[in-house]
A and B are shown apart, each in its own frame.
Chain A
Amino acid sequence: MAVITMTINDELVSGVEGQSLLTLIREQGIELPTLCHLEGLEARGGCRLCLVEVQSTHRLLPACTTTAQEGMAIQTHSERLVRYRRMILELLFAERNHVCAVCVMNGRCELQDEAAKIGMDHVRYDYLVPELPLDASHDKFIIDHNRCILCTRCVSVCDSVEGAHTWDVMGRGVNSRVITDLNQPWGVSRSCTSCGKCVQVCPTGALANKGSTVAEMVKRHDFLQWILDGREKKQWVMQNGGSEGRR
Chain B
Amino acid sequence: MTTLATKKTARKAEKAEAAVGKIRLATAWLGGCSGCHMSFLDLDEKLIDLAETVELVYSPIADVKEFPHNVDVTLVEGAVANVDHLELAEKIRQRSKLVVSFGDCAVTGNVTSLRNKFPVEDLLTRVYHEGPGAVPRGGETDKIVPALIPRVLPLHQVIEVDAFIPGCPPDPERIWAAVSALLAGEPVVLTEKMRMFG
Contact = CB atoms under 8 A, between A and B. Distances in A.
Interface stretch (A74-82, A111-119, A233-241): A111-119
Interface in B160-196: 161, 164, 166, 168, 190, 192-193, 195-196
A72 interface: no
Contact of A112 (B110, B114, B156, B198): B198
A123 B117 contact: no
A101 B107 contact: no
Nearest to A128: B116
A58 to B, nearest CB: 32
Contact of A100 (B113, B156, B198): B198
Interface residues of A, number: 25
A101 B198 contact: yes
Contact of B156 (A103, A113, A120, A122): A122
Most buried by A among B151, B156, B166: B166
A170 interface: no
A101 B151 contact: no
Interface string A114-147: 0111011111101101010000000000000000
A121 B164 contact: yes
Contacts of A115: 195-197
B192 A99 contact: no
Contacts of A106: 198
A187 interface: no
A100 B197 contact: yes
Given A116-B192, A121-B190, A122-B164, A100 B104 contact: yes
Contacts of B157: 126
A119 to B, nearest CB: 7
A122 B108 contact: yes
Contacts, number: 67
Given A112-B196, A121-B164, A129 B110 contact: no
A120 B104 contact: no
B75 to A, nearest CB: 15
Given A99-B111, A101-B104, A127-B113, A107 B198 contact: yes
Interface residues of B, number: 26
Most buried by A among B108, B110, B198: B198
Nearest to A115: B197
B109 interface: yes
Interface of B: 101, 104, 107-111, 113-114, 116-117, 151, 154, 156-157, 161, 164, 166, 168, 190, 192-193, 195-198
Interface of A: 93, 97, 99-103, 106-107, 112-113, 115-117, 119-124, 126-127, 129, 131, 215
12 contacts: A99-B113, A101-B110, A101-B168, A112-B196, A121-B190, A122-B101, A122-B156, A123-B108, A127-B116, A129-B113, A129-B116, A129-B151
Given A99-B114, A116-B195, A121-B195, 18 more contacts: A97-B117, A100-B196, A100-B197, A101-B111, A103-B198, A106-B198, A107-B196, A107-B198, A115-B195, A120-B195, A121-B164, A122-B108, A122-B164, A122-B166, A127-B108, A129-B151, A131-B117, A215-B198
